[in-house]
Amino acid sequence: MPIQKLPWSIDKTPLMLAPMQGLTNRALRALFAEQYAPDTLFTEFIRVGPTERKQIKKGDLNAICAQENGIPLVVQLIGHGRETLVSAAQAAQQAGAVHLNLNLGCPYGRMTSGLTGGKMLQRPELLNEILPALRAVIAGTFSVKVRAGYDRPEQIFDLLPLFERSALDFLVLHPRTVVQQYSGAADHRLTAEVVRRTSIPVIANGDIRTAASGRRILAESGATGLMLGRGAIADPWLFARLRRETAEIASTQERADQLRGYLRQLFERYQQLYCGEKQVLDRIKNVFLCLDDGEFVEDFKRLKRCRTSSEFLHQVDALRR
């Protein structure tokens, strides 16, 4: 199989925007692509239905493409069953996908039948059928986003030989177990050991909230790059901070100015994507699940209580004024 072009420039340390259900929708990805420049974007996961007729929703297929605003887009699938996943991968490629990823990390059940996401790690023998079959039909890059294990972190080392046999182009590792969900701390000592034991490029993911922590993880683990989730939603300038293109730590006034622009632009894009004032407000309030600036706690509480667009925008403009 010919070597495929990775979804990032090989002369860079890739900084990726994580797939986050309910957050990294088309509107948010477009804003990040235009304003904050991650090297790689991921879709929210594309649910693969249990039958061919219902495999991928029409709306999801219509949103699939190779890149957004010039930035490579990785299409993430979540589902179960070799045949359905293979068929879904083929359909995604026909719709324009070049980079495909299989979710083996989501700790929450999203379907009524079958093991999906991180729960697939409960039956690793099924992955022996699924991963090689997907590799055989994926013409572009193929990767997985994976937890360290279902209930024991050492499981990742059992999986590495399968990942190598399946010729994964890269893997994204979140070094918690599925049963941990988001409790405790991501153990990037485990990331370092995975990097040591495999030749597959490893992208480190989990608890990267500052430029300092990101650089430390890169240096100590030897990871190829970073995937930023909640840290980037809270502070989209984290990509620039990691690249030393802007101040590593913003002053309170700078942070307030940045937040006002970010939230207003995102709100305007959500108005174009979603229908109705309530849906727009409900969706944008998901962003506040990631915002934890201690100095803005009261501001965020007021924003979350808003019931109208005008009230929300008024509170955005009033941030720390």
CATH code assigned at 124: 3.20.20.70
Percent of the chain, pLDDT > 90? 86
By DSSP bridging, strand 67-68 and strand 71-78 are: antiparallel
- Tally of structural domains, the chain: 2
Burial of 49 (0-12, 13-18, 19+ CB in 10 A): middle
CB atoms < 10 A from the CB of 155, how many? 17
Same structural domain, 144 and 224: yes
CA 99-100-102 angle, 5° bins: 155
* Greater pLDDT, 2 or 313: 313
What band does 292 get if pLDDT is binned at 50, 70 and 90?
Answer: confident
Same structural domain, 107 and 224: yes
Same structural domain, 231 and 140: yes
Containing structural domain, residue 111: 15-242
Same structural domain, 191 and 270: no
Residue 293 has a pLDDT of 87
In single-letter form, the type of residue at position 302 comes to R
69 has pLDDT over 80: yes
Q: b/e for 18-27, b at 16 or more Cβ within 10 A?
A: bbbbebbbeb
> What distance, in Å, lies between the first and last C-alpha atoms of the chain?
58
Residue 6 falls within a domain, yes or no? no
Q: What is the residue-wise DSSP string for 186-232?
A: --HHHHHHHHHH-SS-EEEESS--SHHHHHHHHHHH--SEEEESHHH
Secondary structure (3-state) at 17: strand
pTM: 0.95
Same structural domain, 233 and 270: no
Same structural domain, 159 and 278: no
Residue 72 falls within a domain, yes or no? yes
Same structural domain, 188 and 301: no
CB atoms < 10 A from the CB of 264, how many? 15
Same structural domain, 59 and 174: yes
